[in-house]
């Protein structure tokens, strides 16, 4: 997974996040969660030196420097590196695992000034036989097929949580924050998290009645991250900017949210198309 940093695109990305923070003002805290790719964390150093790939640590630092003082930057690179020998990214897929997302959540909690809920308090569930994007990209490599991934997920500790997602055609469905994907095809088991990629998702923690709310603006890496936020907010609104056509600023004001949390991987931040899609819901 080769990574090439684009300063021009990073500048554009940061300008959109900065614009959101400026428009929302002091009433809303804006966080930017930047996720490294697996190649920048788990690939052994002696291999990494042999490929032409930009330093992901420097990329995160460069993007962070472009963010305004109104944005709270969440740099998880160090925490992921501390756990780089653990199963924090899939082998046959480009996403991080729920364990990797948990370490990212720890970094978020540190920036927010709250205590993360320890992993041992969450009930886990495992779904074996996952063959993801790398498997398809390698034309279904036999080596990868013989070494499938296991998707491990962690349920929120709050016992009464509901989720409703809305499709691009406007239909809404009730679902689970963590869904049983035992019988799903091997290629889509990552969709155990928050019903996969949908334009808009609303999660309600019925055990909280304090009015706390956030909006998570994400691509697919955010799916494994969101379940850990559920125990901290009465409402978690999830927007996938690749498919959602609303206005983020208007929605944040209407929903009276406390936090807007941008969750994006480094590959997205180098894409003109995806950063452009992000800009469309802000500007």
Distance CA 198, CA 147 (A): 29
- Give the tens place of pLDDT for each residue, 226-281: 999 999 999 999 999 999 999 999 999 999 999 999 999 999 999 999 999 999 99
Q: What is the DSSP string of 123-163?
A: PEEEEEEE--HHHHHTTS-HHHHTS-EEEEEE--S-S-EEE
Query: In this predicted structure, what is the pLDDT of residue 213?
Result: 98
> Using 50, 70 and 90 to split pLDDT, how confident is the model at 151?
very high
Angle at 243 between CA 239 and CA 248, to 5 degrees: 40
- Give the tens place of pLDDT for each residue, 257-272: 999 999 999 999 999 9
- Give the tens place of pLDDT for each residue, 89-130: 999 999 999 999 999 999 999 999 999 999 999 999 999 999
Report the predicted TM-score, pTM, of the whole model to 2 decimal places: 0.97
Calculate what percentage of the chain has a pLDDT beyond 90. Answer: 96
Query: In this predicted structure, what is the pLDDT of residue 269?
Result: 96
């Amino acid at each position: 997974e080769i990574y090439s940093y684009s300063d021009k695109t990073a500048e554009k990305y940061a300008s959109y996040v900065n614009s959101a923070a400026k428009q929302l003002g002091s009433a809303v805290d804006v966080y930017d969660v930047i996720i490294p790719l697996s190649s920048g964390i788990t690939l052994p150093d002696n291999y990494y030196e042999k490929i032409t790939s930009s330093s992901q640590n420097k990329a995160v630092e460069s993007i962070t420097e472009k963010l305004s003082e109104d944005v709270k930057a969440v740099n998880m690179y160090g925490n992921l590196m501390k756990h780089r020998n653990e199963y924090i990214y899939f082998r046959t897929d480009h996403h991080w695992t729920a364990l990797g997302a948990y370490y990212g959540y720890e970094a978020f909690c540190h920036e927010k000034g709250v205590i993360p809920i320890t992993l041992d308090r969450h009930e886990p569930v495992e779904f074996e036989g996952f063959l993801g994007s790398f498997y398809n990209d390698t034309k279904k490599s036999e080596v990868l097929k013989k070494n499938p991934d296991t998707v491990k997920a962690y349920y929120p500790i709050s016992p009464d949580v509901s989720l409703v997602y809305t499709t691009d055609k406007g239909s809404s469905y009730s679902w689970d924050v963590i869904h049983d994907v035992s019988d799903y095809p091997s290629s889509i088991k990552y969709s155990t998290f928050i019903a996969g990629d949908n334009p808009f998702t609303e999660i309600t923690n019925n055990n909280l009645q304090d009015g706390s709310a956030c909006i998570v603006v994400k691509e697919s890496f955010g799916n494994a991250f969101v379940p850990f936020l559920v125990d901290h907010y009465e409402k978690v609104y999830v927007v996938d900017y690749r498919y959602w056509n609303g206005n983020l600023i208007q929605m944040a004001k209407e929903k009276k949210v406390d936090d807007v949390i941008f969750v994006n991987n480094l590959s997205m931040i180098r894409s003109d198309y995806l950063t452009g899609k992000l800009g469309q819901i802000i500007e």
